[in-house]
Amino acid sequence: MEHIFDFSQVTTWFHELLLQTLGLSEFFAILIECVLVGSAILGAYSVIAMILIFMERKVCAYFQCRIGPVRVGPWGLMQVLADVLKMLIKEIFFVDKADKLLYIVAPFLVIIGSVGAFAFLPWNRGAQILDFNVGVFLLTAISSIGVVGIFLAGWGSNNKYSVVSAMRAAVQMISYEMSLCLCLITAVILTGTMQVSGIVEAQAGPWGWLIVQGHVPAIIAFLVFLVAGNAEANRGPFDMAEAESELTAGHHTEYSGMGFGFFYLAEFLNLFIIAGIAATVFLGGWAPIQIGVEAFDEVMQYIPGIVWFMGKAFLLVWLLMWIKWTFPRLRIDQILKLEWKYLMPLALINLVLMTVIVAFGLYIK
């Protein structure tokens, strides 16, 4: 993939600019870079969230034979901006009998876990923000912070509906994390690395995507990951924690303004994070399609890596939205039965099978 642009050239140039041209010390150069990177993450986080909200409304409308938002701006494009403005100026109130500390901290924990996981996504070669040699382990650990935030939100609100929602969300998300981690371990065994950029690089070359390299076990891991990720993000048909007909708004019933906004943003971005991780681990991330035909492969390499990544991620986002608006909501006992009786045993067996395939060199090299 010699034609794929390496974004690390830009970061190296900018670092040298701060040190040599502007004469800044190493400390202040890194400080400026951290501020810029943090601003870029928050900016991308906000923009993608608005795109996903608009996309959700249009996809939902399509499946329900409706038009969706059309009044504010052309094709309803400004509707999300109007909603954001409304949320920013709404009054933030506090519940009298709530646990004030837990009530205030919960939205921040949810958004921290979501933003932290978002920072692991590799947008292009050399454009990953966090890229440690134990990246998969850290990714799962940081994303788990959101579970604590959701539970504290329900418990701290001192609302019976919110408490029931928190209990459901906690048991569901903790359960489905097992299958998520097993699917990621399956990919780690095949690629031989836990570094996110290393997993993408291992999928370079003709027919290099993991769902092709790993045969049936990789495809099974991919499908189980999508189902478990949907449940982990509290998306339909696994949205028992926010069952409006039973629990009003669930764990964020008592929140308003940006307190509610944090939960709302995190829910949509968690959908994108699940799709982004699936695209990275199983579909090659920013790696282009390579089929072994020299002319075709060379043309595909001229398409920027970020285009490949975003295309794959949004394709999976659309697939997960399709699932949400097609299948009816499951009961909490059905959700847990699916995980503990079917998905986790399947993921465990699949992990052993992948280990055998790698041990005997049966995968596509």
pLDDT in tens, 315-336: 999 999 999 888 888 888 899 9
The confidence score (pLDDT) of residue 176 equals 92
CA distance 124 to 8: 10
Torsion angle (degrees, nearest 10) of CA 320, 334, 149, 116:
-40
Which residues have C-beta within 8 Å of that of residue 238, sequence separation ≥ 6?
Answer: 172, 176, 230, 231, 329, 330, 335
- 143-175 per-position pLDDT tens digit: 889 888 888 988 888 888 888 888 888 888 889
Contacts of 348 (CB under 8 A, 6+ apart): 182
**297-335: burial string, b at 16+ Cβ within 10 Å, e else:** beebbeebbbebbbebbbebbeebbebbeeeebbebeeb
Tokens 């933003």 identify what position? 115
Contact 350, 186 (CB under 8 A): yes
Instruction: Report the sign of the C-alpha dihedral through residues 147, 148, 150, 154, in that order.
Output: positive
Give the per-residue pLDDT at 108: 92
Q: Which of 263-267, 293-297, 310-314 has the lowest mean pLDDT?
A: 293-297
Query: The pTM is what?
Result: 0.92
Residue 164 CA, chain-centre distance (Å), reads 25
Contact by Cβ (8 Å): 33, 26: no
The two tokens of residue 172 are: 């569901």
Cα–Cα distance for residue pair 319/278, rounded to 1 Å:
12
DSSP state of 130: -
